[in-house]
Amino acid sequence: MRRFKYLSGGFKAAAVATVAALVGIAGFGHAQAADKTVKVGITLPLTGADAEDATKIKNGAMMAIEESNASNLIPGYKLEVVIYDSGTATAGQYDPAQAATNTKKLVSDNAVVANIGPQMSGEGKAMSPILSEANLATITPSSTNPDITNPAMAAQFRPKGKAVYFRTVTTDAFQGPNMANYVKDKLGVKTVYVLDDSGAYGVGIADSFQKQAAKIGIKVLGRDQLNPKDADYTTILTKIKAANPDMLYFGGVAQAGVKLAKQAYDIIPNVKKAGGDGVKGASFLKGVGFPAVEGWYCTDASPELLTDPKVQEFVKRFTAKYGVGPDNYSVTAYDGALVIIDAIKRVIAAKKEVTRENVRDAIQSTKLMTLQGEVSFDANGDIVSKIVSVYQYKRNPAKPVDDEAGNSVYLGVAPESPQT
Amino acid sequence: MTFYLGFLRRYSLVIVVAIAAILLMGFGFLPEDFWQILPQQVINGVSLGAMYALLALGFTMVYGIIELINFAHFNVFMLGSFIALWVFQAMGMESQNVVLYGLPLVGALLAALLVTMFLTGALGMAIERVALRPLRGISGTAPMITTIGLSYIIYNLVLLGFGADTKNYANPLPPTKWEIPPALLFGDQAEIRLRELLLWGVSLVLMAGLHYFVRRTKLGKAMQATAQDQEAARMMGVDVDKVVQTAFFLGSALAGAAGMVFGLYYNYTSFIIGYSAGLKAFTAAVLGGIGNIPGAMLGGVLIGLIQSVGGSIIDVRWTDVIIFSILVIVLVFRPVGLLGRAAPTKS
């Protein structure tokens, strides 16, 4: 009986509220109408070997969305974030199958109009065809494998034709080859041994590095592949020691990279070591630790942003909010979210309905000033700017040992073609 | 089911040689630098093999006595590396830079080893008592599936408790290494590091201890008797439950020791390490003849050597293919494994 009474009380209250709301709308017109909600997905490997970097990306995106909601950047609309984790216990890192499952969930929710992610190209390859079927755009702040946006592979990755995979970083079509140019020009590397971690990103960037290296006259002494779940890389490192290259180039992410770097420090201490953006970041730095990580070269497929004067204010806000400093890819994630917010605004301004198709079209025609400069995309979804930045890990005793930005130095931009 | 067979059967050796020959023919020529780096690859391989052997012993002992493949073993090993790390941290070796020498080093290692072995051994006993004894005597796959379930429970508890990132291990070993001059070898100079010696030392001592225990002590003899015929042993007054508990304790303690040396050797641990090491160790136990203790040691070292020497002949990406092909070939010709003896049919 008591419950019944309570319920009917609730109904009464609801009725009163509804009447009040109706009166309110009638009385004040549209001004006081409740905000509409649109959803934006975030899919990243938030657990596993790359969790730390993924979290920094998530925080970058979240910050833009929260700031937009707080300052009412899209009048009449609130953004709601849906977060999915694509890391699984079986994989121990990102899991393409989980990324695909998450994407299906996003697609099935009609309120989701855009997505931010993934972190890894292996996830992206699984997600892109599903996104394409739904015309749901995603903006990746860090995945760099060029296949996904390659028009020659459109049948596989965007069967419906329109670009859905947008990037606020450039691709490994530049990251690998430009680094090859850099190591030849600036580091005087003449011979190299190339490894990858058998993931989509790792194989792709190692291939593109190797191809350019061979083209500009760096001798490739060998190429092999690591199983990221294996613990022991002493066999391959012993072979590399015997081959005695100037440099070891590793295409891959933290899970294999951490073990490789630890064992390489013991076995081939005098060989230069380099990798792509997969070995740049706190996951790799903390996993390997000093002194083994000292001297490793790495790249980001974006301009150097953290020391950019225009970004300082962001760095401060980010650090104050999350207690740790951002990565370059926190900035590209922030930029990605800004692009989505801007696209939704333009859809509304054009008096169109906020659907995923309209938001996708608006993202395609983006011309937006962001933290990294002006962002616009080509017909395939790739960012127009193609800058690859080179870094090296160097212990800075003034900084905490796990501070990635504090313990690496920016060396410059890797050139698109060799200077010598 | 037999524990001991003091010699390698002649034709098992022939098979191994034949496989090696087939491999060499199949993959064409040896790479130029094969002989130069062989000594170093043998050192790498023996290190790997010693670790696999320690793990394989646990599989083989339990199988020898109750004919159960204990898949929880994978993650008892993994947990062992975490327990040892915890002990090192409790002793103040939080960071990479605490390096010990001399007596403190030996003391710290010994303390960590004993605590780890005791705790993982106790965990093994608990697993047997709580989850497997009630299923004893039930034929079919139920007990084995139970061990898979337990394995996943440990795995996920560690994942939830410690997180998924790769953990830096305590690093108390000084980075000492010795160079073996080329004159002593037929190849280039090879290096041997302190951590390799530690790994070999721990494995040798533990395996010798196990050997002594099984051969010379009363409980060890009771284990052999139970392995041969449980019913007959029971009738002779052997406390079979105690024997099974002992097998679980010893096997799990060895896995814990393997977990600790794994952490010190590779300088990391993660919730995921049980899978690839455990699978290879299990392969080693089958290769050597599951149920046979020297077989597990031999199998472990062989798998380690195949992994490193095989990897230096062809690309390392093919290593797993080689290992498992060899396993298949051996089992086709010798289904009981290299040192195994066909089990007498039990009533």
CB contact under 8 A, B165 and A286: yes
CB pairs under 8 A between A and B: 105
| A49 and B CB contact within 8 Å | yes
Q: Which residue has the tokens 């080689």?
A: B322
What secondary structure does DSSP assign to A39-87, as a single string?
EEEEEE--SSTTHHHHHHHHHHHHHHHHHHHHTTSSTTEEEEEEEEE-B
Task: Please judge whether A224 and B271 are an interchain contact, meaning their C-beta atoms are less than 8 angstroms apart.
Answer: no
Burial class (CB in 10 A: 0-12, 13-18, 19+), A87: buried
Q: Which residues pair with A43 in a beta bridge?
A: A84
Instruction: Give the residue carrying structure tokens 């994978």.
Output: B74
B156, B193, B311 ranked by CB distance to A89: nearest: B156
Choose among B176, B173, B228, B187: nearest CA to B39: B187
pLDDT value of position A29: 44
Q: Which of A216, A206, A103, A104 is nearest to A145 (CA)?
A: A206
A270 touches chain B (CB under 8 A): no
Between chains, do A239 and B317 touch, taking CB under 8 Å as contact? no
User: Hey, is the C-beta of A285 within 8 angstroms of any chain B C-beta?
Assistant: no
Rounded (5°) CA angle B73-B74-B78 = 110
pLDDT at B15: 65
**A51 CB within 8 Å of a chain B CB:** yes
Inspect the interface and report whether the beta carbons of A226 and B316 lie closer than 8 Å: yes
Tokens 């962002």 appear where?
A375
Q: What is the pLDDT of residue B187?
A: 65
Closest CA to A158 of A145, A166, A149: A149
Query: Does B272 sit within 8 Å of A92, measured CB to CB?
Result: yes
**Lookup result for tokens 């069967």:** A159
Distances (CA, A) of B329 to B9, B25, B304, B334: 17, 16, 17, 8
Report the distance separating Cα A48 and Cα A53, nearest Å: 10
Yes or no, beta carbons of B37 and A232 under 8 Å apart: no
Extract the tokens encoding B112. 């960590």
CA distance A212 to A208: 6
**Closest-CA residue in chain B for A256?**
B166
Q: Which residues of A373-392 are buried (b: 16+ CB within 10 A; e: fewer)?
A: eebebeebbbbeeebbbbbb
Contact list in B for residue A92 (CB cut-off 8 A) is 164, 270-272
Q: Classify residue A33 by its DSSP letter.
A: P
Shortest Cα–Cα distance, A183 to chain B (Å): 25
Would you state the structure tokens that stand for residue A152, as one six-digit string? 């020659």
Name the minimum distance, in Å, from the CA of A282 to any CA of chain B: 11
The H or E element that residue B246 is part of is: helix B240-266
DSSP label at B175? -
By DSSP bridging, strand B268-269 and strand B167-168 are: antiparallel
- Residue B311 touches chain A, beta carbons under 8 Å: yes
- Asked if residues B243 and B3 have their Cβ atoms less than 8 Å apart, the reply is no
The partner residues of A223 in beta bridges, in order of sequence, read A194
Helix/strand/coil for B179: strand
Spatial distance between the Cα atoms of B283 and B327, rounded to a whole number of angstroms: 7
- Measure in Å the smallest separation between the Cα of A54 and chain B Cα atoms: 12
Closest approach of chain A CAs to the CA of B39, in angstroms? 10
Q: Give pLDDT, residue B342.
A: 62
The candidate with the shortest Cα–Cα distance to A232, out of A278, A269, A267, is: A267
Residues of chain B with pLDDT under 50: 1-8, 345-347
For residue A291, whether the previous peptide bond is cis, meaning omega lies within 30 degrees of 0, is yes
Q: What is the pTM of this model?
A: 0.85
pLDDT at B213: 92
Nearby residues of A374 by Cβ (< 8 Å), 6 or more positions away: A367, A368, A385
Asked if B182 contacts B277 with a C-beta cutoff of 8 angstroms, the reply is: no
- Do residue A287 and residue B166 have CB atoms under 8 angstroms apart? yes
CA-nearest of B48, B21, B84, B41 to B269 is B84
From CA B215, how far away is CA B211, in angstroms rounded?
Answer: 6
Of B47, B159, B266, the CB nearest to A262: B266
pLDDT in tens, chain A (420 residues): 444 444 455 555 555 555 555 544 444 444 445 688 999 999 999 988 888 889 999 999 999 999 999 998 888 899 999 999 998 877 888 999 999 999 999 999 999 999 999 999 999 999 999 999 999 999 999 999 999 999 999 999 999 989 999 999 999 999 999 999 999 999 999 999 999 999 889 999 999 999 999 999 999 999 999 999 889 999 999 999 989 999 999 999 988 999 999 999 989 999 999 999 999 988 899 889 888 999 999 999 999 999 889 999 999 999 999 998 898 999 999 999 999 999 999 999 999 999 999 999 999 999 999 999 999 999 999 999 889 999 999 999 998 888 888 899 999 999 987 766
Does the beta carbon of A397 lie under 8 angstroms from any beta carbon of chain B? no
SS3 A150: coil
- The string over A211-248, giving b where at least 16 C-beta atoms fall within 10 Å of a residue's C-beta and e elsewhere, is ebbeeeebebbbbbbbbbbbbbbbbbbbbbbbbebbbb
Closest in B273, B307, B317 to A225, CB measured: B317
- Give chain A positions within 8 Å (CB) of B155: 89
From the CA of B80, how many Å to the nearest CA of chain A? 16
Which of A48, A238, A283 lies nearest to residue B41, judging by beta carbons?
A238
Is A197 near chain B, with CB under 8 Å?
A: no
Residue B159, chain A, CB below 8 Å: the answer is yes
Strand order in the sheet with A165-167: A77-85, A36-44, A112-116, A137-140, A165-167
* DSSP secondary structure letter of residue B173: S
ipTM of this complex: 0.85
| B70: contact with A, CB 8 A cutoff | no
Query: Residue B159 is nearest to which of A89, A226, A230, comparing CB atoms?
Result: A89
